[in-house]
Structure 1
């Protein structure tokens, strides 16, 4: 087991279990036998799903489960509804209950629970431990379960024409992987010319001018590395809010109905901003409105969300494991003007581009996996102290998929929160819509549905104000001047 995966294996706590939790809504319903057959054909060929995580003095490793039984991992459940509770509320309560129910470490660390009768169809709740894979890899795995999907491809070693490993493979195996298991492609994705700089170590025959140019790249990368390391180490504390504190041992989840992705794209185009900027601006607005409704003063306040950044080529997602870093994004919850919030988020996201912080956080997790658990906990507590939320934003298929002949109508998932972080936010685009969901510790946020209820009004305000902007000016005006011309209602 890689050191990063080992760190995730040991990161469970009474307040936060390291499970990725997902929900699929399917219509018409599917049966337990059909689901088991699909899992057997498509999921079990991923060897990790029939292996047990074992820890010893040397670290952790994967071992085949000699007593593997599929019925232990694919089960059924009938929702119990209390008086006045809607079916969706009952499902949300069950998801929250399972989010705090540990997986059995004596067997492979995953479990599917099928609710065969839900909303005229079925609901599938999936729980997979983070040590198996990160969210991007697990989306790839789950997509193998849909109609038309397939088993994982055979692992092939990339070779040169001489039959030798490529320079990138050699670098990854001998130089980079022992210090964090980051491939050269990951470096290229996260740090621009970083991979090229590392690659010069494998190509001493290059011309002097090329080598000098790469040396300059390496020097620039060193400066960027020092700057980003200082930024991580010296992160100021978040603004104090009721969302930050010592979490308890219970959670609640909530999600909204999808909003049209075309409308989000239209706003982004008008404001010269990305879809991500628009959605994160709305998330900041929803959290700020939630706090103000409770009587809190949010003026000038900001909270930090850790955002996972993929560090692997997408074609390698099937290999599982964790290959992602984290970047801290500060959300302007104290700004009431929706357009100003989007511009602020856009500016901060642009400042993160080319940052080596994802590589640094990946490296920290790798080092954490080398330490004894108390030392690992102390090292990773930095993120808990400086962070209010964990946030993911994943683009899914543009058209709706089918599973065992049924349509996958709606999907949502949450990555785990670590340490004392008590709020998880997920944004997932799928089938022409954008799904927004929250999972929250009940001590810090007793009713996350109230945050969800603010998301659609914030999006509607942003849409209305965007339509009111003068044509041709929204995307080109400086952030503050554009926002100041529109009075927020």
Structure 2
């Protein structure tokens, strides 16, 4: 069977496909900013040559015998997917953000392959590509694989790099009885985690839980230095992801206080993405990640203590089966009627207030049609009742932080975005003064090693 003509669609990807709602589109919005001359016809020809190596970019979602599948679009035309726009003036960050915020409100037509690129040129040198991709095609890790395949590692423009093949894995021989016992233990833990998540009480009720509107804000921080974040993480025996989550928690605490909210009663909870994909399988696209419920340290005023608490929470969850449980939940909902899927989704998303994701981009500069890719960023979509999402993307030594916020839940998105930048600065200053000693990390408590059961069932910040 030719995979470019027909392929089954996983039930997990089908869940993402059906999550599209009028007030919450399940679309990954990204922007690629280039330096150099634009030859639009050459650029579109390059994209036409490289992107269809992935079957999903020439296929639409259909049903055969009641099962979802991918089928080739007989009317596929690259000109409907890569379009050109000329701006009258040289754009700055604010004007560019305003331009693609308007684009983000439009759903991708389901009768076509679920992606679109708008090439935006201005009077100055350089251009930008607003790349919109439905989440059912892939996740952040898969998107990075696509962008690496689409671009070159030098300004010498040539044919597409070879598509990475499936790596060969050595399979250990396991006693069948032991393997069966391992499976039983794994699925019992998955079931236990799903039960705990279902019974988890909602987090602090703030305006972050207001009903969704149709107005959205898409904002960017000026690029941050990746080396600075690494230094902060190293001083505290933490990870870059811990630093990122702690900075968002600090910003949310201050923002909510400025909005008159009482933040000391209970924690604000975040849904943090957790990658479960084998990197060698990224070319297969699809969605291979789970979501973990993290009580953000929004009740804590001290920046270094916020980072310590985040590190403890994240280490506990990594030792649990919660990421696999949420990925299994998304697979399960793909088999259910859409009405029931939406109901379960609302129940689960009511447990938290914000989504956080961390995407690792290329470490070296990339080029497309001879132009240098200077910056890249993406905005994470939200589902159910959630309307606020933070994303961190690394690229060529820089960190780009973005915010996607519903106006009803975040009335002053620029202020919240500015507070995130200030939170990174506070963490850098605080950890410089309180650098962790060069010793091994504090051992995980027994309850954390058991799967963070106590943390999840309590629903409070440690």
Shorter-chain TM-score range:
0.7 to 0.9
Q: Is the 8 A contact 1:32 1:116 kept in 2?
A: no
Q: Is the 8 A contact 2:166 2:280 kept in 1?
A: no
* Partner of residue 90, structure 1: 95
Q: CA 1:333–1:132 in structure 2 vs 1: closer, same or farther (change >3 Å)? A: same
Quick one: distance in 1 between partners of 2:440 and 2:423? 20
Q: TM-score, normalised by structure 1?
A: 0.81
* Partner of residue 303, structure 1: 268
SS at match of 1:230: helix
Is 1:317 the counterpart of 2:325? The answer is no
* Partner of residue 390, structure 1: 355
SS at match of 1:449: helix
Quick one: distance in 1 between partners of 2:126 and 2:69? 39
CA deviations 1:189-222 (Å, max 9, x no partner) are xxxxxxx8xx85xx43xxxxxx55x666556535
The unaligned stretches of length 5 or more in structure 2 are 1-8, 154-159, 445-462
Question: 1:57-456 residue pairs with structure 2 within 5 A?
Answer: 58-79=66-87, 87-117=92-122, 120-148=125-153, 150-153=161-164, 200=174, 203-204=175-176, 211=177, 217=182, 220-221=185-186, 224-456=189-421
Quick one: distance in 1 between partners of 2:197 and 2:123? 45
* Partner of residue 50, structure 1: 58
CA deviations 1:89-115 (Å, max 9, x no partner) are 221122222212011111111000010
Give the drift of 1:250.
1.8
Q: CA 1:301–1:86 in structure 2 vs 1: closer, same or farther (change >3 Å)? A: farther
Q: CA 1:477–1:419 in structure 2 vs 1: closer, same or farther (change >3 Å)? A: closer
Give the drift of 1:289.
1.5
Greater mean deviation of Cα atoms: 10-19 or 24-33: 24-33
Q: CA 1:478–1:350 in structure 2 vs 1: closer, same or farther (change >3 Å)? A: closer
Quick one: distance in 2 between partners of 1:370 and 1:222? 18
Q: CA RMSD in A?
A: 2.7
Give the drift of 1:229.
2.5
Give the drift of 1:225.
3.1
Quick one: distance in 1 between partners of 2:321 and 2:437? 35
Quick one: distance in 2 between partners of 1:132 and 1:18? 11
* Partner of residue 454, structure 2: none
* Partner of residue 5, structure 2: none
Q: Is the 8 A contact 1:252 1:446 kept in 2?
A: no
Q: Is the 8 A contact 2:214 2:406 kept in 1?
A: yes
* Partner of residue 4, structure 1: 12
Give the drift of 1:460.
1.6
* Partner of residue 487, structure 1: none
Q: TM-score, normalised by structure 2?
A: 0.86
SS at match of 1:361: helix
* Partner of residue 25, structure 1: 33
Q: CA 1:464–1:404 in structure 2 vs 1: closer, same or farther (change >3 Å)? A: same
